[in-house]
Amino acid sequence: MSATVTWTGNTITSLGLKSGTYTWTWGTGADADRIVLNIENTAPLSPVGGVQRGDGSLRMQWTAPDDGGSPITGYTVTATAQAPATGGGSCTAAANATSCDVSGLTNGVTYAVSVRASNAMGDSPESPVINVAPGKLDPGQPLSLPNGSGTASVVIGGGQPGCSLNSLAIVGGAGIPSGAPAGASFPAGALNFRTANCQDDTLSVSITYSNPLPANVQLQKYGPASSGAQPSWFPAPNATLSPDRKTVTYTVKDNGPGDNNPTTGQIDDPFAPMLLAAPPAPGGAQGIPTLSDWGLIFMSSILAMLGISRMRRRQR
């Protein structure tokens, strides 16, 4: 096996060797010199990570540490409730994973969360503990829709510790951003919320309406559709509508598509179910105008008078 060996004073440094015994010999016969070097692999170093909050869950994210010379075989995330609360949870992830969700936790309870890496030599030290409580950014209280058309419950999840909700409303009329296609309407108004301290976070949004949305509704977001684009209405790229047409779910990322606030950490999220105007009839055909009841009576009178006039002429 080849290796790079560096002499520094009375020490030798070997680069690129796995565990084992290595012998270097130079010279021949009785004058030969020999060095025997034993190299042992170690457990990985500690990962470095961060935590995102969820509804009853916490997501630990990390970057892979030095593997200590032996490939990493997996990761374990542990969340332990801080006193006086008890309980917690854990999850395991594969060697190539960079995140893991611990579920079944209690919103509002603070947990000490850490991750460790493992290889054939053992486990790494735990990562620095992060104290965080799972929870929703908004408790999901019903909001009234414009024109008394029902209510909607909004649940926003995700975000790092400190990510907070500044405002949340469902608006109609002039409160809806302009620029929708001509003739478009908003049967359930438009949701708009603003957050702070959510740097690089991806938030999950769930909106449950009290009444089903129309069958041909379009799920639209307002904001830049891509980096550097001007704000506009565009189809929400990851929005889904439940089979009963009552619940919409989607995600929005800080400074991602549809975030209408360029300030890092602040997410402005206008979203709306939109009904587009019906397309014109083929060939530009238009409906035939009809007369009102009084118009029909007037026309009948004119025709009757013309008929009487013609009869008198014949009698002469």
pLDDT category at 177 given cuts 50, 70, 90 is very high
Residues in the chain: 316
Mean pLDDT, range 194-200, rounded to an integer: 89
Residue 43 or residue 165, greater confidence? 43
Token duo for residue 66: 């030095």
What architecture does CATH give domain 48-132? Sandwich (2.60)
Q: Where are the alpha helices (DSSP H) in the chain?
A: 293-315
Distance of alpha carbon 188 from alpha carbon 164, whole angstroms: 25
Greatest CA separation for the chain? 156
Residue 251: what pLDDT? Answer: 92
Q: What is the pLDDT of residues 94-139, one digit of tens each?
A: 999 999 999 999 887 899 999 999 999 999 999 999 988 887 776 6
Distance of alpha carbon 183 from alpha carbon 147, whole angstroms: 18
Share of the chain above pLDDT 90, in %: 50
Structural domain spans, the chain: 4-39, 48-132, 142-274
Q: Residue 206's Cα: distance from chain center in Å?
A: 11
Residue 307: what pLDDT? Answer: 59
State the pairing for strand pair 88-93/20-26. unpaired
* Mean pLDDT for the chain overall: 83
Instruction: Indicate the pTM of the whole model.
Output: 0.56
Point out the least confidently predicted range of 25-34, 48-57, 279-288: 279-288
Q: What is the CATH number of domain 142-274?
A: 2.60.40
Residue 164: what pLDDT? Answer: 83
Distance of alpha carbon 211 from alpha carbon 205, whole angstroms: 18
- Asked if residues 203 and 266 have their Cβ atoms less than 8 Å apart, the reply is no
Q: What is the pLDDT of residues 299-311, one digit of tens each?
A: 666 655 655 555 5
Residue 178: what pLDDT? Answer: 93
Residue 312 or residue 247, greater confidence? 247
Mean pLDDT, range 1-21, rounded to an integer: 54
Residue 108: what pLDDT? Answer: 79
